[in-house]
Amino acid sequence: MKKTYGNSNPVSIEITGAESLEEIFDKLPKKFAKKPLIAALRKGAREFTKDLKSVIPLQGAKKAVGTKAGKGNVAYVMAGILSGKVNVTLNDGKQYDVYTPLYWLNFGTGANRNSSHVFQKKRKAVSAGWKGGIKPLGFVQNSWSRTETRTTKVVEDDFKVEIMKVIDKYAVK
C-alpha cells in the first residue's frame, strides 16, 4: 500500500505487504483510520519543531512554534510557526503577532525578498523602487532540510505502531 498525504510538500508513506491492513481500514469508519495517522504525523513533526525552536531568531518566539492537526476528512498536521500564539513589540513601538516578523525574517522584505519564494502580494508601487529591507534568513527551510529524513523515518515507524494499536483495540477476540 502506498499513500501520499499532504498538498504542499507531501510525505509518502509506504508499507509493504499491507493489503490486509488496507482492507481493515476500508471496513473501519474514517475516524478510526485517521487517528493513527495523525498521531504518527504529530510525533514526526516534533523532530522539526524541536529543531526550529533551537534556531528561531526572535526573542520569545519559541512559544509560537508548534503543531496543529487538520480538521475534516483529510489527515494532515501543520507544523511550524503558528499565528495567534504570541505578540511582540518591535522597534516602531507597535504590537505584532509574532508570525509576521518571523515571516519577514524568514523570507525577507523590500528589495531583499527571497526570489525563490512565491509571495501572495507583489510589492506596492510606492515601495517598488526602494532599496534595502530585511535580508532573508531562511531558517524554516534550513530547519526542514536538517530534519526531513529524521521526521519521515519517525512518521513511518510510528505509523506502523499506531496501526497495530488500532488493530489490537478493535480486533475481535
In Å, how far are 19, 74, 100 from 170, measured between CA atoms? Answer: 18, 22, 45
pLDDT at residue 10 is higher than 60: no
* Kind and range of the H or E run holding 147: helix 139-170
Span of 25-34, 90-99, 142-151 with lowest mean pLDDT: 25-34
- Local structure of 18: helix, strand or coil: coil
> Residue 164 corresponds to which cell in the numbers above?
497495530
Q: Which of 65, 64, 19 is nearest to 46 (CA)?
A: 65
Residue 171 has pLDDT above 50, yes or no: yes
Top pLDDT among 46 and 166 is at 46
Q: Using one digit for the tens of pLDDT, what is the confidence trace for 104-152?
A: 899 988 888 888 888 888 888 888 888 888 899 999 999 999 999 999 8
- Residue 5 confidence (pLDDT) above 50: no
Report which of 90, 98, 104, 97 is spatially closest to residue 137, judged by C-alpha positions: 104
- Mean of all residue pLDDT scores within the chain: 80
Which letter does DSSP use for residue 122 in this model? P
pLDDT value of residue 72: 77
Residue 3 has pLDDT above 50, yes or no: no
Mean pLDDT, residues 2-18: 46
User: So what's the pLDDT on residue 27?
Assistant: 59
CA 40 to chain centre: 13
Identify the pLDDT of residue 129: 84
Note the pLDDT tens digit of each residue in 33-42: 678 888 888 9
HSE-CB of 133 using CA atoms within 13 angstroms: 21
